[in-house]
């Protein structure tokens, strides 16, 4: 009997329900129950990002849009009809959503094989298992002998999005393979992004927030048309062009890596970075074959990819002799709010002399909806997901997973002054961090310690940690684009309090002789003590925080 694992109906997606219980749903039930599902309860942020994009691709093609804001509102208000359209779409491509299908298995090539007929262990499929270091993961030992069909479907979806670069198994039929090896073509598409997705209070709202309307996103998205047959997810293309998902790459000249082959967002949402074949028995998946699939480069893909932040690249612009934007990677050592300048950037036309960034398309989309009155909340939540790869992008070093609460007032294009205020306040916070470092350095000099760098890093880390809640709360509370000075004062007073308390706490940990002080090592004509270092810090902070209330007397605090 032919085995089946139909992702339309099998309960393979873990979800958190409104009553805070964990359950599992198939694709159809994910849409049916979307208003009662708080969110995906998958084990990895990589799975969450990739599965959300899978659901979005299904939704876009099921409703053939949205073509404009009115259509988006119709989708929001007629969810029962949307679910029917989803069922019809999935039924029309049912074979492509069967993990074990004989001819069109989900995200696989059924006859994929190497010359020697070998397969790999499941560490090639499960992205949280470092190759060669299985003893350092909860999946070591027997945990990698077999995984369930549900887990395999989740990791397969994530693999195409985030797989590392490096040498792969050389598949028969792939003209790029040499000596049985597939040489590196780069990581999965989502792995190249500074990923960002909006999150609603339930799965329906999350999908709607990320269901971008091309006209909302700006001129660089003008060519996107979700009603056309040009931009389609992989299952539609495979049904029309079965040969395009064989072992060979999708494009006739696999050496031509200077062209962006994607046809639009839906193509990118389901981009087949690899060619994969799962080996199963009656109980689950036991082995996998992973070969190279379709390479794609990130230059100027902001015209098609709405779920990333983008930065201007001078080296790339010189190389390609045109203005080039690249995905802006996340810094694993920084909280998401410290990278807000890129997310809130103005459109490139606003900086003709030196463009710096393009806002993520999903923020532009939500800004247009907010301007038209279709966002009924004062703040929106966003998840940020990124991957930091190791050497040659052949391993995953760090997964960056954070969240942001942005005041809805920050999103509309007309509120540039409010966004600029946020960017300026971020600069002020960074400026104070530099002075915190000087304060810490001065103190270790006073006590005769040589660990200035360590002390500076520790003090700055403490400072950013204390600012975290202050800034996040302020960021989500902004509501009046005209009350810029009041908003600035509200934040800066709190930041100054952080500086006062941090300085007091650091001094309290110093030995008693910090009170006496010593000659300043950097200026022998000056005397430095704990109190003097503190006064310098407070004075410097007040100079930066131009909106704080002046001290009541010259004595200060």
Q: For the residues of 242-268, what is the DSSP string, one character each?
A: GGGGSSS-SSS-TT-TTS----SHHHH
Residue 343 lies in a domain: no
**Residue at a domain's end among 241, 271, 295:** 295
The total of structural domains in the chain comes to 2
Between the CA of residue 542 and those of 52, 375, 494, 506, what are the distances in Å?
45, 38, 12, 19
- Are 486 and 547 in contact by the 8 Å Cβ rule? The answer is no
- The secondary structure of 311-334, three-state, reads EECHHHHHHHCCCCEEECCCCCCC
pLDDT, position 219: 67
Rounded Cα–Cα distance for residues 278 and 10 (Å) = 17
Rounded Cα–Cα distance for residues 28 and 62 (Å) = 12
Residue 486 lies in a domain: yes
Residue 224 lies in a domain: yes
- Are 294 and 129 in contact by the 8 Å Cβ rule? The answer is no
Percent of the chain topping pLDDT 70 = 89
Which of 138-147, 212-221, 353-362, 476-485 is predicted most confidently?
A: 476-485
DSSP annotation of 345 reads: P
- Mean pLDDT in residue range 52-78: 97
pLDDT, position 121: 94
Position with higher pLDDT, 496 vs 521: 496
The sign of the dihedral angle between the CA atoms of 345, 347, 351, 356 is: positive
Between the CA of residue 222 and those of 17, 213, 226, what are the distances in Å?
37, 10, 11
Residue 554 lies in a domain: no
pLDDT level of residue 533 (50, 70, 90 thresholds): confident
**Residue at a domain's end among 263, 295, 327:** 295
- Mean pLDDT in residue range 315-342: 90
What's the domain range around 212?
13-295
User: Residue 353 above 90 pLDDT?
Assistant: no
pLDDT, position 520: 65
List pLDDT tens digits, range 376-405. Answer: 999 999 999 999 999 999 999 999 999 999
List pLDDT tens digits, range 427-480. Answer: 999 999 999 999 988 888 777 776 778 888 999 999 999 999 999 999 999 998
Tell whether 426 and 284 lie within a shared domain.
no
Of 11-20, 253-262, 450-459, least confident by mean pLDDT is 253-262
Q: Can you give the CATH number for the domain in which 463 is found? A: 1.10.132.100
Nearest to 296 by CA among 269, 321, 323, 276: 269
Residue 313 lies in a domain: no
Tell whether 38 and 174 lie within a shared domain.
yes
Please list, in sequence order, all residues whose beta carbon lies within 8 angstroms of the beta carbon of residue 18, skipping any fewer than 6 positions away. Answer: 36, 37, 38, 202
Residue 354 lies in a domain: no
**Residue at a domain's end among 295, 322, 348:** 295
Rounded Cα–Cα distance for residues 134 and 140 (Å) = 5
pLDDT, position 342: 78
Residue 379 lies in a domain: no
pLDDT, position 242: 80
pLDDT, position 445: 77
Residue 86 lies in a domain: yes
Position with higher pLDDT, 287 vs 442: 287
Rounded Cα–Cα distance for residues 95 and 113 (Å) = 21
User: Residue 238 above 60 pLDDT?
Assistant: yes
pLDDT, position 531: 83
User: Residue 96 above 70 pLDDT?
Assistant: yes
Q: How far from the centroid of its chain's Cα atoms is residue 544's Cα? A: 32
pLDDT, position 204: 98
pLDDT level of residue 136 (50, 70, 90 thresholds): very low
pLDDT, position 258: 57
DSSP annotation of 147 reads: B
pLDDT level of residue 133 (50, 70, 90 thresholds): very low
- Are 406 and 382 in contact by the 8 Å Cβ rule? The answer is yes
Nearest to 400 by CA among 38, 44, 16: 44
User: Residue 358 above 90 pLDDT?
Assistant: no
């Amino acid at each position: 009997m032919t085995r089946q694992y139909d992702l339309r109906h099998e309960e393979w997606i873990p979800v958190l329900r409104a009553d805070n219980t964990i359950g599992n749903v198939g694709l159809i039930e994910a849409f049916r129950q979307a208003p009662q599902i708080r969110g995906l309860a998958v084990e990895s942020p990589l799975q969450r990002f990739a599965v959300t994009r899978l659901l979005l691709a299904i939704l876009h093609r099921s409703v053939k849009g949205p073509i404009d804001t009115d259509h988006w509102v119709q989708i929001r208000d007629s969810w029962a009809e949307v679910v029917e359209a989803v069922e019809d779409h999935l039924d029309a491509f049912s074979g492509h959503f069967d993990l074990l299908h004989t001819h069109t298995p989900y995200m696989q090539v059924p006859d994929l094989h190497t010359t020697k007929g070998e397969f790999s262990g499941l560490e090639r499929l499960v992205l949280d298992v470092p190759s060669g270091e299985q003893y350092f993961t909860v999946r070591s030992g027997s945990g990698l002998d077999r995984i369930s069909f549900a887990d395999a479907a989740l990791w397969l979806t994530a693999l195409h999005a985030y797989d590392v670069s490096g040498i792969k198994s050389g598949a028969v039929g792939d003209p790029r393979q040499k000596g049985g090896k597939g040489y590196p073509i780069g990581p999965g598409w989502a792995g190249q992004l500074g990923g960002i997705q909006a999150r609603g209070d339930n799965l329906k709202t999350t999908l709607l927030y990320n269901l971008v309307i091309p006209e909302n996103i700006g001129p660089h998205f003008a060519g996107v048309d979700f009603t056309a047959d040009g931009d389609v997810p992989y299952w539609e293309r495979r049904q029309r062009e079965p040969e395009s998902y064989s072992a060979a790459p999708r494009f006739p000249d696999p050496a031509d890596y200077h062209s962006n082959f994607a046809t639009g967002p839906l193509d990118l949402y389901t981009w087949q970075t690899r060619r994969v074949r799962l080996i199963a028995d009656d109980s689950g998946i036991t082995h996998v074959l992973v070969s190279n699939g379709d390479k794609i480069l990130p230059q100027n893909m902001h015209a098609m990819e709405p779920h990333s932040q983008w930065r201007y690249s001078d080296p790339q612009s010189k190389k390609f002799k045109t203005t080039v934007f690249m995905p802006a990677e996340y810094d694993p050592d920084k909280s998401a709010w410290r990278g807000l300048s890129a997310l809130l950037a103005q459109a490139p036309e606003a900086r003709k002399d030196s463009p710096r960034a393009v806002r993520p398309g999903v923020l532009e989309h939500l800004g247009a909806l907010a301007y038209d009155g279709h966002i009924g909340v004062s703040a929106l939540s966003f998840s940020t997901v990124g991957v930091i790869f190791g050497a040659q992008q052949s391993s995953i070093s760090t997964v960056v997973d954070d969240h942001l609460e942005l005041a809805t007032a920050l999103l509309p294009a007309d509120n540039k002054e409010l966004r600029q205020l946020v960017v300026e306040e971020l600069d002020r916070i960074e400026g104070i961090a530099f002075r915190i470092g000087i304060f810490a350095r001065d103190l270790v000099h006073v006590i005769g310690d040589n660990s200035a760098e360590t002390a500076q890093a520790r003090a700055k880390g403490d400072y950013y940690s204390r600012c975290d809640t202050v800034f996040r709360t302020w960021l989500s509370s902004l509501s009046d684009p005209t009350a810029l000075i009041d908003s600035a004062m509200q934040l800066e007073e709190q930041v100054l309090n952080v500086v006062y308390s941090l300085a007091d706490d650091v001094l309290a940990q110093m030995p008693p002789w910090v009170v006496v002080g010593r000659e300043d090592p950097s200026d022998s004509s000056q005397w430095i003590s704990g109190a003097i270092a503190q006064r310098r810090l407070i004075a410097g902070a007040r100079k930066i925080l131009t909106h704080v209330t002046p001290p009541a007397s010259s004595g200060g605090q």
